[in-house]
Amino acid sequence: MKPRKFIATGAALSVFALSVGAADIARAESKYPHTVSANVSLATNYMFRGISQTDDGLTIQGGFDYENDPYNVYAGAWAANVDSTSNGYDGASMELDLYAGWTPSWQNIDFDLGYIRYQYPGTDTSENNTDEFHLGLFYDVQDQFTPGYTAHYSDDFFGGGPAWYHDLSLEIPLPYDFTLAGHYGWNRFNDSTDNYRDYSIGIATEFSGFEFDLSWIDRSDKEACSAPFQCGSTAVFKLSKSF
């Protein structure tokens, strides 16, 4: 399980590009299985917590993941283009995320304890580079649906001071290999006047090794989103492939 930021909705979704297939590179004589995978995607928008990172433009995203099954640990790197004309990135045209975590399970509950570094190569403002930690719980209800909750914390979120992000999610399998996914996020900042909520609903499926995802993304307090950033009220289509 990867940090769910990398779903088109962001959050973690980051949900969470998800690896739907992996290449097992463990040698037969190896005591512990190691798995690596790669993913690439094309989407009509890069939305992160209700805010477009590409000025409502196209995004190309991709990354690599490593997993160790016996210990349930993972690490990876993921990158996406961002709007280089935005003052918010101050010269950067790419976001590079580095992350690692631990995903133990107990009965029908999956946990995700992890760390992510948001890095913007080429930015003239080092405060854009942010560290964040998260703890998530996901409960499989008899293979019928999976509710989840993830708490994210940064002691200096993009230079704005301490911040929490509370992420509620729900995944429901549908007939014909479709999945319905819902998300509700609550952003809490040191300055309470900046708090807002974001939410999404989407449907996804896999066909011929490709994953298709169509989501509607919105947020509260859209008037607080200053130019050139675009906020909420948008549909996002995403096509992805894992190797």
Task: Evaluate whether residue 3 is within a structural domain.
Answer: no
Task: Write out 76-92 in H/E/C secondary structure.
Answer: EEEEEECCCCCCCCCCC
pLDDT at 138 over 60: yes
Give the domain range for residue 103: 23-242
SS3 154: strand
Task: Evaluate whether residue 65 is within a structural domain.
Answer: yes
Of the pLDDT bands very low, low, confident and very high (cuts 50, 70, 90), residue 86 is low
pLDDT at 93 over 80: yes
Q: What are phi and psi of 42, to 5 degrees?
A: -125, 130
| pLDDT, tens only, 40-75 | 999 999 999 999 999 899 999 999 999 998 899 999
The rounded distance, in Å, linking the Cα atoms of 104 and 73 is: 8
* Beta-bridge mates of residue 218: 199
Number of folded domains that form the chain = 1
CATH number at residue 238: 2.40.160.40
SS3 164: strand
> How confident is the model at residue 4, as a pLDDT?
44
The rounded distance, in Å, linking the Cα atoms of 102 and 71 is: 8
Task: Evaluate whether residue 2 is within a structural domain.
Answer: no
The rounded distance, in Å, linking the Cα atoms of 17 and 31 is: 29
CA 3 to chain centre: 6
Q: What is the pTM of this model?
A: 0.84
Task: Evaluate whether residue 180 is within a structural domain.
Answer: yes
Residues shown for the chain: 243
132 against 4, higher pLDDT? 132
What DSSP character marks residue 211?
Answer: E
